[in-house]
Homo-oligomer: A and B are copies of this chain.
Amino acid sequence: MGNRYSPLAFAWALMGVCTAGHAAEGMWTLDNLPRAAWKAQHGFEPDAAWLSHVRAAAVRVGGCSGSLVSANGLVMTNHHCVTRCLAELSTPQRPVKAGGFLAQGPEQELPCAGLEVLQLQAERDVTAEVQAATRGLQGEAFQKAEDAARARVSRECQQDQAATRRCDVTVLYRGGQYVLHQYERYTDVRLTWVPEDAIAAFGGDPDNFNFPRWCLDVAMLRLWRNGQPVKTPTHFRVQPLGPQPGELLLVPGHPGQTQRSLTVAQLERLRERLATQDIPALSESRGLLHLLTQRGEPTRTWALQSLSGTENGLKVLQGQLQALFSPSLWAVKRQQEQALQAHVAGQPALRERVGNPWADIERAQQVRRELELAHSLIAEGRAFAAPHFQTARTLLRGVVERTKPDEQRLREFSESALPGVVRRLKAASPMDLSFERERLEWSLTRMRSLLGPDHPVVQRVLGSQSPAQLATELISRSRLHEPAERSRLWEGGVPVVEASRDPFIELARRIEPEARALRDRFEAEVQAVERQAAQRLAIAKFDRDGRSRYPDATGTLRLSHGVLRGWREGSNEVPTHTTVAGLKARQTGAAPFALPSSWLSSTGIRLADDIPFNFVTDHDIIGGNSGSPMINRQGEWVGLVFDGNRHSLGGSFFYDGVANRAVSVHPMAILRSLQQVYEGKALAQELMGPARQ
């Protein structure tokens, strides 16, 4: 029963959360670190220079994290963070994804189109400005005012900056704080090195979120600008010895999203949604993709790529659902909710100010229950699984929205978001039309089954056609997979898009009234209500706790702390490290447990048995932290975070210090494989930097 939570460990962990919080808990913003605890437990007090070094060297890589690891713009992240780029770069002659890639010198590096690296330059608290604009407002009015205030602050920031800067206003503490982040944006990002898929994701889905583990889940990228590698004097220096037992280890990274401050009613609805919508959808998709991987190329490669994302997503959601079926979780969440309610009830002024946000949120869950299936299929477009559909909708809406004043636009077309929209529309986006046809047919079939053949949108979409007929027609007649056609439509604006007879544009146009009505109602009656109520909850928590808590993850820079630590799984003690010896024992020759040929010599594996491979620590991380550097108090790079164990999946809702573990690649595995498996001595040397004093 290796894949189930141990109920006992789980209960302990929650008791921990309940009383004092576990030592390693927290995804802290850099302006509000648990300094007292670090000092008391580890004697560590980061100074401004240390923090500013971390801010500059810890970067965001697409939806993942990464770090600068040389003076010449070298960025380290995970292989699994750049698989889309690898798939796009792969050709039969140069199978980058399956066969790996190493540039011998910067001139051989391959551009990852569409991949963006962000480096934080400055942050500023703008809570007062945003809250002034929303004070006293409810529901939709609140949301519109908040959106407009955030857009205005971003735009004003953007106007002051170079074109390579990006300004975002992030909502922290679900409305308790607003922070303006200014990033330097790098869009010419090139691939320097990746090992083969088979060693990067050794163990595949079966080993995903497991430990012991043997993955060389690493990718090296380089930042370029003006035809030159970017100079990055501020970077992390690699410490080949890796993390030491007992020492404080810090993970600066960009955790994507946690839901630790949801109310009981929100968690209940989330559980229902995962169980009735999201997990069944991903499960069906998995079955479909499993068989599509048996097709010929190129369908096989696209299916494998999509399958690995689907299986990963499925494990994440299954882990979350498992946590949401744990009686102890509910006991703790109910108790925490009641405690906050009691605090508010006891403070008349506070009660006056925050009202009853729990009741408002609970009412919004009824609307979720009523709308969420149709919203997901029609308004979010999951009924139309080919990328053409989202492109069509972007064109249809974007050419209209961009002519409006910024504050009246749909938020995905705001002035600050527009450059990203245009870049994605114009980017080359290779795809396999046969693969897309299959996915589209399946998603249309599923829509008809879920909404029923008499649903007006189903009737409008299918008419008298079967899903198979419609999918074939859409894919064979559309030209939206061609960047030139997308550019033509975008540049042409409203008249050209209106005149288009592209079948995906016609489809998107046909269901636009229902899609917009669903979106509008969902935003007004669900999202706006939840956001406004969440802000009142944040006010109540600040009133009670001050700034002693960390906010839910938001994809912005955070610091997690921890130490090397195994855990107890049933009757087994799971050790902190794996080594090459274990890899030798685990490989069977059959995927996903087959080593690539580069790793094998006539006598076995090219690396010595005792080289450390992966290791576990008790850091509080979540999806988005993939690719994060792990550093020691000297600011030296000692590991590459790439996964959590399965107990970490409940981390969306709470931190379980007993069993929640982060999994990282050891620097020695990276250096030795560069030196002994790949022809990467120069790259290893670049990582090690100039000889140390």
Contacts and interface: CB of A to CB of B under 8 A. Distances in A.
Contact of A288 (B274, B287, B322): B287
Interface stretch (A17-25, A79-87, A92-100, A441-449): A441-449
A366 to B, nearest CB: 8
Contacts of A244: none
A172 B659 CA distance: 46
Contacts of A287: 283-291, 442
B464 A370 contact: no
Contacts of A374: 1
A550 B150 CA distance: 62
A321 B2 contact: no
B207 A453 contact: yes
A3 B283 contact: no
A469 interface: yes
A321 B370 contact: no
B325 A588 contact: no
Interface string A574-596: 00000000000000111101000
B445 A4 contact: no
B2 A455 contact: yes
Interface in A478-521: none
Contacts of A275: 274-276, 279, 321, 325
A590 B469 contact: yes
Nearest to A208: B449
Contact of A1 (B1, B311, B371): B371
B279 A464 contact: no
A487 B427 CA distance: 64
Nearest to A273: B325
A115 interface: no
A292 interface: yes
B1 A370 contact: yes
Given A287-B285, A449-B206, A464-B589, A325 B276 contact: yes
Given A465-B590, A588-B465, A590-B464, A451 B2 contact: yes
Contacts of A322: 276
A465 B594 CA distance: 11
B206 A453 contact: yes
Given A445-B290, A591-B466, A4 B370 contact: yes
- Among A321, A369, A469, residue most surrounded by chain B Cβ atoms (within 10 Å): A369
A280 interface: yes
Main secondary structure of the interface of A (DSSP, over half): helix
A203 interface: yes
A272 interface: yes
A373 interface: yes
Contacts of A281: 283
B3 A451 contact: yes
A318 B325 CA distance: 18
Given A283-B283, A465-B588, A276 B321 contact: yes
Nearest to A276: B321
A47 interface: no
A591 B445 CA distance: 12
Contact of A449 (B284, B311, B370, B449): B311
A450 interface: yes
A322 B273 CA distance: 10
A382 to B, nearest CB: 14
Contacts of A160: none
Report which residue of A206, A289, A322 has the largest number of chain B beta carbons within 10 angstroms of its beta carbon. A206
Contacts of A206: 448-449, 452-453
Given A280-B280, A287-B286, A453-B203, A373 B588 contact: no
A205 interface: yes
Contacts of A2: 451-452, 454-455
A109 interface: no
Residue from A205, A280, A465, A588 having most chain B Cβ neighbours under 10 A:
A280
A291 B322 CA distance: 29
Contact of A4 (B4, B284, B373): B373
Nearest to A374: B1
Given A272-B325, A276-B321, A590-B469, A210 B291 contact: no
A116 interface: no
A553 to B, nearest CB: 25
Interface in A254-287: 272, 274-276, 279-281, 283-287
B276 A450 contact: no
Interface in A39-63: none
A338 B506 CA distance: 57
A288 B290 CA distance: 7
A618 B18 CA distance: 51
Contacts of A438: 291
Interface in A1-42: 1-4, 7
A628 B469 CA distance: 37
B442 A3 contact: no
A464 B276 contact: no
A231 to B, nearest CB: 45
Contacts of A452: 2-3, 206, 210
Contact of A442 (B274, B290, B450): B290
A534 to B, nearest CB: 23
A452 B3 CA distance: 7
Interface in A365-416: 366, 369-371, 373-374
Contacts of A451: 1-3
A289 B283 CA distance: 13
A466 B590 CA distance: 6
A276 B370 contact: no
A307 to B, nearest CB: 11
Nearest to A212: B454
Given A280-B280, A287-B287, A464-B589, 12 more contacts: A1-B455, A206-B448, A207-B453, A275-B325, A276-B322, A279-B283, A287-B291, A288-B288, A290-B442, A464-B593, A466-B590, A469-B590
6 contacts: A1-B451, A275-B325, A283-B283, A285-B287, A290-B445, A453-B593
Q: Closest 9 A-B residue pairs measured CB to CB? A: A287-B287, A275-B275, A464-B588, A283-B283, A287-B288, A466-B590, A2-B452, A284-B287, A291-B291
Interface of A: 1-4, 7, 203, 205-207, 210, 272, 274-276, 279-281, 283-292, 311, 318, 321-322, 325, 366, 369-371, 373-374, 438, 442, 445, 448-455, 463-466, 469, 588-591, 593
